[in-house]
Amino acid sequence: MPLSEFCTKYGLGLHTLQKFEDSYYTDACVLQFVTIDELKQMEFHLGEIAGLRDVVELWLVLNNA
């Protein structure tokens, strides 16, 4: 799933999408491999990281990944 669709579907917003696009992420399937340290390097705040991890886990469960 393209990240733009993923962010829209899970309410992550344009700010989150922009941070990923600035780091050349394009697909949701790679988000499960992004580390907390990498998210911090992209200047995500702790609350954003927690929310993102929750959404990625939900997406993985729903898609049996």
Tens of pLDDT, residues 22-62: 999 999 999 999 999 999 999 999 999 999 999 999 999 99
Q: What is the pLDDT of residue 64?
A: 80
* Contact indicator for 28, 59 with CB cutoff of 8 Å: yes
Helix (H, G, I), strand (E, B) or coil at 2: strand
pLDDT band at 65 (very low <50, low <70, confident <90, very high): low
- Model pTM? 0.85
* Contact indicator for 49, 39 with CB cutoff of 8 Å: yes
Full residue range of the structural domain in which residue 55 is found? 3-62
Domain count within the chain: 1
> Alpha-carbon distance 27 to 49, whole Å?
17
CA nearest to 29, candidates 49, 8, 61, 56: 56
Q: What is the pLDDT of residue 52?
A: 95
| 2 φ/ψ angles, rounded to the nearest 5 degrees | -60, 145
Q: Which two tokens stand for residue 30?
A: 């790679």
